[in-house]
């Protein structure tokens, strides 16, 4: 079997899905190869000839090798301004690597204004017209080579798996699928990943795949093994990261992306897609996780562990403090009561915790209650101070525009962030999107937000006249203009944000 992660998403680390699936196949002696097409395809474009017809592009082309070298070594992360310059130069090369037809390729994303990844008809069009995809010159050569290599070693190839996590991968994933169906209609395409799971309940989902394809929604190991008539009770099998050794990701060393669970243990936030997708929360035993992490650290020597769970559970946090993985790590967690303890935060730091991403969303108690965040706002300053004193960085997420919020509530969020800015290292500030399947979507005056039958969100008429355009103006005039907040926002690494943030603490 071939497992493929299509472009385009962040090329700073390998996402854990392919390693998990590969590990499951390896454990049962099933031949497989893993292709990080995201990394290979973007690097192909970065190293291609470009039309350097302006000073900026000529400078970027001249410094290309230096930029790639620096961003894949520790030296590239010693000066933030230089780091940003090299990111901009590589993005310029990607921009110039394709014709100026409105398509956009960056180090983290791909967009085509003529077709939408949220429209099943457009995805089918992308499959039928795969030659129009900017990555076609790469995948039309690379995939046949890989198929030939696999079959020369293992015999007939039956399955190719495409793992989709981000919207920026969708158009190219379907282009790759169209190409595979054209050259090898005998091979079954297997679809999986977080985006496929999120789409599973969309009205356009049933229109996406030919009857010859196979679709896996949710955790993939058991379902994948069933294709080979193997039954297992295990949801998590030792992942295999051997394929990453040939890739020089844009990071100061190998980032070990690892998940201890799938789904969300809280799943009560009123407007979170996790609640309405209603996928089961499945977690691995903590003792197995800590033992496995230590083995992986010893084998791959990562500079950083990225725990990719929707939320690192409180019990998992406790486990890593008593049995540390042996390398720096970061991940997303709630403002759990455990963090109210200064000693526990110090223990987390001793375990290697470099940074925690934390979903605050609002600095207004009524808004938090309406959202059912389960956050005691009075404890948040205590937690932020504890983490700062322990030497753990914080990446705080705030959200504007929920139905319960108005301008005054948004100002309270601004004031809260400003007051505690000296304890916050990074901020992600976003405008609220209403999940299309949420109960509230039936109660509000909604209108089409993204064109397409695969959209996960819908726009709505805000009951308090606190709409998107008003919020964007607020963000520019009243939020990011505050010196203490602007300073935090300016510290966020461009493009790679939380993925590279721990390297600038």
Angle CA(237)–CA(238)–CA(242) in degrees, nearest 5? 130
In angstroms, the CA 93 to CA 382 distance is: 45
pLDDT tens digits in sequence order for the chain, 505 residues long: 999 999 999 999 998 899 999 999 999 999 999 999 999 999 999 999 888 889 999 999 999 999 999 999 999 999 999 999 999 999 999 999 886 577 899 999 999 999 999 999 999 999 999 999 999 999 999 999 999 999 999 999 999 999 999 999 999 999 999 999 999 999 999 999 999 999 988 888 988 999 889 999 888 889 999 999 998 877 788 999 999 999 999 999 999 999 998 888 877 787 777 776 777 788 889 999 999 999 999 999 999 999 999 999 999 999 999 999 999 999 999 999 999 999 999 999 999 999 999 999 999 999 999 998 889 999 999 999 999 999 999 999 999 999 999 999 999 999 999 999 999 999 999 999 888 877 777 778 877 666 688 988 888 899 999 999 999 999 999 999 999 999 999 999 999 999 999 999 9
Kindly state whether residues 458 and 399 are assigned to the same domain: yes
pLDDT value, residue 267: 75
Q: Which helix (H) or strand (E) holds 154?
A: helix 136-154
- In a domain, residue 107? The reply is yes
Q: Identify the CA nearest to 501 among candidates 389, 393, 370, 368.
A: 393
In angstroms, the CA 288 to CA 5 distance is: 27
- In a domain, residue 414? The reply is yes
Q: Is the peptide bond before 344 cis (omega within 30 degrees of 0)?
A: no
H, E, C per residue of 27-89:
HCCCCCEEECHHHHHHHHHHCCCCCCCCHHHHHHHHCHHHHHHHHCCHHHHCCHHHHHHHHHH
What angle, rounded to 10 degrees, do the helices at 286-300 and 314-322 form?
50
Kindly state whether residues 294 and 399 are assigned to the same domain: yes
Do the strands 457-460 and 446-447 form a parallel or antiparallel pair, or are they unpaired?
A: antiparallel
Q: Identify the CA nearest to 120 among candidates 210, 180, 181, 192.
A: 210
pLDDT value, residue 185: 96
DSSP-derived 3-state class of residue 176: helix
Q: Identify the CA nearest to 28 among candidates 253, 234, 200.
A: 234
pLDDT value, residue 91: 95
Which residue range is the domain that position 285 belongs to?
265-504
Kindly state whether residues 189 and 275 are assigned to the same domain: no
- In a domain, residue 163? The reply is yes
Kindly state whether residues 299 and 426 are assigned to the same domain: yes
pLDDT value, residue 53: 87
Q: Buried b vs exposed e over 102-128: b needs ≥16 C-beta within 10 Å?
A: ebbbbbbbbbbeebbbbbbebbbbbbe
| Cβ-based neighbours of 194, under 8 Å, separated by 6 or more | 17, 164, 165
In angstroms, the CA 325 to CA 291 distance is: 8
Kindly state whether residues 274 and 377 are assigned to the same domain: yes
Q: Which helix (H) or strand (E) holds 160?
A: strand 159-163
498: domain CATH number is 3.30.750.200
User: What's the token pair of residue 192?
Assistant: 């999986």
Please identify which residue in the block is written with the tokens 């992660």: 5
In angstroms, the CA 122 to CA 454 distance is: 11
Among 179, 211, 226, give the residue marking a domain's end: 226
In angstroms, the CA 489 to CA 296 distance is: 34
pLDDT value, residue 85: 97
Are the beta carbons of 168 and 108 closer than 8 angstroms? yes
Kindly state whether residues 321 and 219 are assigned to the same domain: no
Kindly state whether residues 172 and 120 are assigned to the same domain: yes
Give the residues across from 256 on adjacent strands. 305
Q: Identify the CA nearest to 316 among candidates 304, 326, 325, 327.
A: 325
Q: Which helix (H) or strand (E) holds 427?
A: strand 426-431
pLDDT value, residue 100: 59
How many separate domains does the chain show?
2
* Secondary structure (DSSP) of 270-320: TT-HHHHHTPPPEE--HHHHHHHHHHHHHHH--SEEEE--SS--HHHHHHH
| Cβ-based neighbours of 185, under 8 Å, separated by 6 or more | 212
- In a domain, residue 257? The reply is no
- In a domain, residue 434? The reply is yes
Kindly state whether residues 287 and 196 are assigned to the same domain: no
pLDDT value, residue 195: 93
- In a domain, residue 431? The reply is yes
Kindly state whether residues 222 and 273 are assigned to the same domain: no
Kindly state whether residues 201 and 138 are assigned to the same domain: yes
Kindly state whether residues 378 and 485 are assigned to the same domain: yes
In angstroms, the CA 224 to CA 31 distance is: 13
Among 201, 226, 251, give the residue marking a domain's end: 226
Kindly state whether residues 275 and 203 are assigned to the same domain: no
pTM of the model: 0.95
- In a domain, residue 335? The reply is yes
Among 198, 226, 254, give the residue marking a domain's end: 226
Give the residues across from 428 on adjacent strands. 397
- In a domain, residue 368? The reply is yes
């Amino acid at each position: 079997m071939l497992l493929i992660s299509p472009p385009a998403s962040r090329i700073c680390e390998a996402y854990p899905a392919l390693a998990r699936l590969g590990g499951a196949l390896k454990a049962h002696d099933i031949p497989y190869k893993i292709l990080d097409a995201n990394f290979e395809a973007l690097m192909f474009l970065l190293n291609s000839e470009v039309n350097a017809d302006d000073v900026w592009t000529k400078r970027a082309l001249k410094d290309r090798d230096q930029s790639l070298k620096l961003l894949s070594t520790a030296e590239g992360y010693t000066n933030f301004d230089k780091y940003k310059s090299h990111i901009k130069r590589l993005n310029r090369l990607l921009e110039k690597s394709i014709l100026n037809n409105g398509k956009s390729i960056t180090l983290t994303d791909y967009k085509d204004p003529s077709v939408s990844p949220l429209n099943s008809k457009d995805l089918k069009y992308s499959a039928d017209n795969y030659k129009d995809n900017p990555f076609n010159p790469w995948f039309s050569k690379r995939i046949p080579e890989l198929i030939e290599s696999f079959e020369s070693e293992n015999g007939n190839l039956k399955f190719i798996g495409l793992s989709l996590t981000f919207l920026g991968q969708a158009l190219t994933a379907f282009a790759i699928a169209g190409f595979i169906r054209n050259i090898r209609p005998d091979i079954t395409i297997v679809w999986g990943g977080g985006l496929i799971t999120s789409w599973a309940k969309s009205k356009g989902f049933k229109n996406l795949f030919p009857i010859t394809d196979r679709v896996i929604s949710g955790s993939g190991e058991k379902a994948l093994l069933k294709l080979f008539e193997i039954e297992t009770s295990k949801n998590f099998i030792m992942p295999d990261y051997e394929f990453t050794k040939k890739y020089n990701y844009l990071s100061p060393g190998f980032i070990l992306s690892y998940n201890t669970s799938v789904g969300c243990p809280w799943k009560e936030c009123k407007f979170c897609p996790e609640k309405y997708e209603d996928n089961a929360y499945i977690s691995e035993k903590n003792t197995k996780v800590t033992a496995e992490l230590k083995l992986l650290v010893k084998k791959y020597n990562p500079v950083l562990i990225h725990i990719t769970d929707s939320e690192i559970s409180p019990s998992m946090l406790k486990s890593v403090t008593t049995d540390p993985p042996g390398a720096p790590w970061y991940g997303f967690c709630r403002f759990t009561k455990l963090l109210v303890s200064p000693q526990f935060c110090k223990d987390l730091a001793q375990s290697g915790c470099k940074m925690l991403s934390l979903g605050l969303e609002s600095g207004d108690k009524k808004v938090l209650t309406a959202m059912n965040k389960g956050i005691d706002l009075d404890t948040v300053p205590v937690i932020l101070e504890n983490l700062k004193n322990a030497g753990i960085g914080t990446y705080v997420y705030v959200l504007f525009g929920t139905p319960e919020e108005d301008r005054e509530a948004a100002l309270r969020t601004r004031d809260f962030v400003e007051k505690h800015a000296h304890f916050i290292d990074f901020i992600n500030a976003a405008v609220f999107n209403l999940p299309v399947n949420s109960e509230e979507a039936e109660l509000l005056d909604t209108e089409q937000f993204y064109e397409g039958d695969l959209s996960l969100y819908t726009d709505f008429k805000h009951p308090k006249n606190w709409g998107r355009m008003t919020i964007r103006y607020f963000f520019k005039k009243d939020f990011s203009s505050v010196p203490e907040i602007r300073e935090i926002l300016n510290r966020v690494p461009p493009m790679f944000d939380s993925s590279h943030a721990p390297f600038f603490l």
